[in-house]
Amino acid sequence: MTGKRILLIIGGGIAAYKSLDLIRRLRERGARVRCILTKAGHEFVTPLSVGALCGERAFTDLFDPQSEFDVGHIRLARDTDLVIVAPATADLIAKMAGGHADDLASAILLATEKTVLIAPAMNPAMWAHAATRRNIALLKADGVRMVGPNTGEMAESGESGTGRMAEPLEIADAALRILNASSAHAEKPLAGKRLLITSGPTHEPIDPVRYIANRSSGKQGHAIAAAAAQAGADVVLVSGPVHLPDPAAVKTVHVTTAHEMMLAVKENLPADVAIFAAAVADWGIGEPGTQKIKKTTSGAPRLTLTENPDILATVAQLKSGRPRLVIGFAAETEKVIDHAKEKLERKGCDWIVANDVSPESGVMGGDRNTVHLVAAGGVESWPPQSKDDVARSLIARVAAALKESRT
């Protein structure tokens, strides 16, 4: 949120005291906060306390000649990245739905072209009333975003139900998500770039019903494909068998065996960047049974393993048409960095993303990951984070590397 401008409209409700904390939470996240107090909002918090927390004076009345002279309500509405209404009272919501503009807050809400996030707060009976339901439906149809209201005890003694304003942290998080999504939309650092990504395990058939597999879930590779698409790249994801939906805006090619994965990768080259996150089986069965192998009294069948093609090494060592950046993964259960360095050399790729997949790490199938980015220039250890965050960080690094190699 660093440097983002937020216009916070504080309506007149008992929950207005929480908006003072919200100002702090937003500023902690690097936002610049400007506040408007409605006339009713005045009754609950003072312009002085609001102004002190924002670091600039609070705006109050449409016909305040001073504020019109300083900024003007149209500029207040435009010079912002997000408008938050907290608490959004039943009255303010009705005014928004009706398009009123008889005070500073409602005039700004009508004049702004920016996203508006409301945090409703009112008595449960008012929240449940047909008029409020209608107004909320209208606002949603207009694209207004909403956080809360929550269910629980109300400020009035003995009252409980749905109508409590969302907590400041929830509102700050909702604001952060909206701002991040819009900046991700605005910034497409990989626009025009083609990325080829592998993900998931491979299954190597023993016979038509049995196979050799591994515990890869595909979560990390799929998250990378999604992050690359969000960054504007043209993405082909070659996926082994996983229980995950195909990521949005990604061309997903489904394969089963390592040989099929190799073929699909070759068919989808050339690419600017190739990221091999799949846990490809190192060996397949030489001659899988064409019929189900029967249990016999003469003992267990002998299975002959044959080596699978190494997709990463093949692509990294292409003489012509090699992607500018070839990235491999190293899932290790011990000496993670040493093995990754050795792998970088042996496979001929540019980076290795190394992670500890020992059973204690919980990485296999889990949602979190601790990785080390290993390149010829050195090793960078990243803090533990979600697989989505690892994906976003990796894609940001890819975009930076492509930019650097161009200049």
Nearer to ligand C5P, 115 or 202 (CB): 202
The minimum distance between CB 287 and ligand C5P, in angstroms, equals 19
Q: Tell me which residue of 120, 110, 40, 21 sits closest to 73, measured CA to CA.
A: 110
The minimum distance between CB 34 and ligand C5P, in angstroms, equals 48
Q: Does residue 214 carry a catalytic annotation?
A: yes
Q: Does residue 355 contact residue 331 with C-beta atoms inside 8 Å? A: yes
Distant-in-sequence contacts of 401-404, Cβ < 8 A, 24+ apart = 401/325, 402/190, 402/193, 402/272, 402/273, 402/324, 402/325, 403/189
Nearer to ligand C5P, 18 or 372 (CB): 372
Q: Which residue has tokens 């006339």?
A: 39
What DSSP state is assigned to residue 279?
B
Catalytic entry in 123, 135, 150, 214: 214
The minimum distance between CB 240 and ligand C5P, in angstroms, equals 10
User: With b meaning 16 or more CB within 10 Å and e meaning fewer, what string describes 201-227?
Assistant: bbbbebbeeebbebebbbbbbbbbbbb
The minimum distance between CB 309 and ligand C5P, in angstroms, equals 6
Residue ranges in contact with ligand C5P by CB under 6 A: 198, 258, 276, 278, 280, 282, 308, 310-312, 328-330, 343
Q: Tell me which residue of 90, 147, 86, 84 sits closest to 112, measured CA to CA.
A: 84
Nearer to ligand C5P, 15 or 275 (CB): 275
List alpha helices for 114-252, DSSP H: 124-128, 130-141, 168-186, 219-230
Nearer to ligand C5P, 44 or 329 (CB): 329
Which two three-digit tokens encode residue 405?
A: 């190699």
Nearer to ligand C5P, 26 or 311 (CB): 311
The minimum distance between CB 248 and ligand C5P, in angstroms, equals 23
Which two three-digit tokens encode residue 35?
A: 């506040």
Nearer to ligand C5P, 103 or 310 (CB): 310
The minimum distance between CB 132 and ligand C5P, in angstroms, equals 54
Q: What distance in Å separates the CA atoms of residue 88 and residue 127, rounded to the nearest whole number?
A: 11
Q: What distance in Å separates the CA atoms of residue 249 and residue 225, rounded to the nearest whole number?
A: 9
Give the up-direction half-sphere exposure of residue 201: CA atoms within 13 A in the CB hemisphere: 18
Which residues are the active-site residues? 214
